[in-house]
Chain A
Amino acid sequence: MNARALFLFGALALAGCAQDDAKLRTYANNDLELSVGNAAKMSCTCLFVMQMDEAYCKDWVRASPNVARFFVDKEKKVVTSSAFISWTAKAHYVDDKRGCVLE
């Protein structure tokens, strides 16, 4: 009886492992959060590291869903992005070695 229980437990554990092995992980981000993060970071580096103009950068960071808008403070070298008011992200230029960082 004990041996049978042990075997059953082992088999279930193995089945559990196999199932877990095949599970696709998901991350707790919604598209808007990712969209504003991408827009802030990539616009910052496009403008201040790659030294491209706003028209190029606007197209370069365009992602689906295309809902994030970004605002550039050229003096402070800060880019803020937002979507539907409540979703925002900010990236700033550090220096000529370390480029931009998403805050």
Chain B
Amino acid sequence: MNRLLVTLLLTSAAVASAQACRARASWPTESWPQALVTATDKTKGLEDFAFTLVGKPEERLGYRTEGLVVVKNGAIVYEKYARGFDATKPHLSWSVAKSVSSTLLGVAVQEGLASLDDSLCKHLPEYANDPVVCAITTRQLVSFGSGLQWQEEYEDKGYQVSSVIAMLFGVGHKDQVKHVLTHRKLREPGTQFVYSTGDAHVVGTVAKRALTAKFGPDAFWTKLFEPIGMKSAVFEEDASGNVLGGSFVYATPRDYAKLGYLMLNEGCWNDQRILPVGWVQQATSVSAVFKSNRGDCSGQKLPATEFQLPCEDTPNGFMWWLNKPPADGKEKPWKDAPDDTYAALGHWGQRIIVIPSEDLVIVRTGDDRDGSIPVNELVKNVLPLVKP
């Protein structure tokens, strides 16, 4: 009997410990504490790298950083803006929005309003008669594993073959979730990684449907953005009210850093659990979908008129990119960054980089039209700034 009691006590202590939030001296809900590194020998290398001014502005050359914020041990240690931006101006996230949508799905799970095993049709009942859509679970969707054919092309290949451009600005723009879900099934759900802004739009909309049913139309703000102090957060929708969860979130760099800080603190904020226990661990582990099939890595190039799945070399969890080897015998993508580094990455160089082992969050916004700023080089140039 005594043994049973001890076992019960130990079990509940273990559960309580697993659920406990990390203690911090302060939380930046209102504003970030500052401990700025001012020594030019420490900042010069980073600034020479990140704030390159090459050619004329209209030529769009170099790494055109517009905001850079570095948070170490819960305080801003570096902050700089350029090209007309300042600490108050929200910046477009592009695909960083995908990680925001994933996090909002986590909030819905924490609130008991969604589960990773839910069929999409539970949250999108208008597709209840569509067996292709109903066969997809939220876990598969948030792992880029819907199995739908998607051509994630941007400016390079011709606008007419881009599923994204057609969705955002063309034939699909009025009901973007419908545009996504009427694409044909390419593979069984959960068996093929296909990086897709479409999947992320649907994740955002599932999170919206789940949360707003209970908490009203501003649920994203009342359940995530406001509790962590992301006062500048804007999340756009299409004309049908679908959340544009793959592309269109805006916030200031300081506020993006708060999202990184929430992840760094394993989904807790000021002793309040925002994300479920273990969510961050799952979201930043290589997904089963990615492990299953990361694209056509044969090296064989098909003619431009044919559909070819890109080979993805950076592993992904729940719409967070990971510094892990993509396959046995391969190297991790960011060789100078610690193994536990993970990131939200967006077009033209938007980045939220989290390094738990360094207690570090790096946010970089920019407008790189000449090749996006590499994560590895950015981390490599930030690390000397925060080392004693």
Contact = CB atoms under 8 A, between A and B. Distances in A.
B169 A98 contact: no
A33 B172 CA distance: 12
Interface string A29-63: 10101100110010001000111110010011001
Interface residues of B, number: 47
Nearest to B307: A24
A59 B163 CA distance: 25
Contact of A22 (B57, B159, B239, B307): B307
A102 interface: yes
B307 A51 contact: no
A26 B221 CA distance: 37
Question: Interface centre among B89, B218, B234, B305, by most A CB within 10 Å?
Answer: B234
B234 A99 contact: yes
B90 A49 contact: yes
A78 interface: no
Contacts of A21: 186, 307
B306 A22 contact: yes
Interface in B218-256: 218, 220-221, 233-239, 248, 250
B206 to A, nearest CB: 18
Interface string A1-34: 0000000000000000000011111111101011
Given A25-B151, A102-B173, A59 B58 contact: yes
B239 A50 contact: no
Nearest to B238: A101
Contacts of B162: 27
B89 A27 contact: no
Contact of A34 (B57, B165, B238): B165
A28 B58 CA distance: 31
Interface string B146-174: 00010100010001111101101111110
B236 A50 contact: no
Interface string B313-352: 0000000000000000000000000000000000000000
A45 B91 contact: no
B266 interface: no
A45 B236 contact: yes
Contacts of A79: none
A33 B302 contact: no
Contacts of B237: 94, 98, 101
B234 A27 contact: no
A96 interface: yes
B239 A26 contact: no
A27 B306 contact: no
A27 B173 contact: no
A45 B250 contact: yes
B250 to A, nearest CB: 5
Interface string A57-95: 001100110000000000000000000000001000010
A54 to B, nearest CB: 11
A99 B367 CA distance: 20
B55 interface: no
A12 to B, nearest CB: 20
B221 A25 contact: no
A82 B75 CA distance: 46
A60 B169 contact: no
A102 B174 CA distance: 8
Contacts of A63: 155
Nearest to B58: A59
Contacts of A37: 168-170, 173
Contacts of B302: 22
Given A27-B163, A53-B84, A101 B250 contact: no
Given A29-B159, A63-B155, 20 more contacts: A22-B308, A23-B306, A24-B304, A24-B307, A25-B151, A25-B183, A25-B307, A26-B160, A27-B162, A27-B171, A29-B160, A34-B166, A37-B169, A41-B169, A49-B92, A51-B89, A97-B233, A98-B236, A99-B234, A101-B238
20 contacts: A22-B308, A23-B307, A24-B304, A25-B161, A25-B183, A29-B159, A29-B165, A29-B169, A34-B166, A34-B169, A49-B90, A49-B250, A53-B84, A97-B220, A97-B221, A97-B234, A99-B250, A100-B236, A102-B168, A102-B239
Minimum-distance CB pairs A-B, first 9: A37-B169, A29-B170, A27-B166, A99-B236, A22-B306, A99-B234, A24-B307, A38-B169, A26-B160
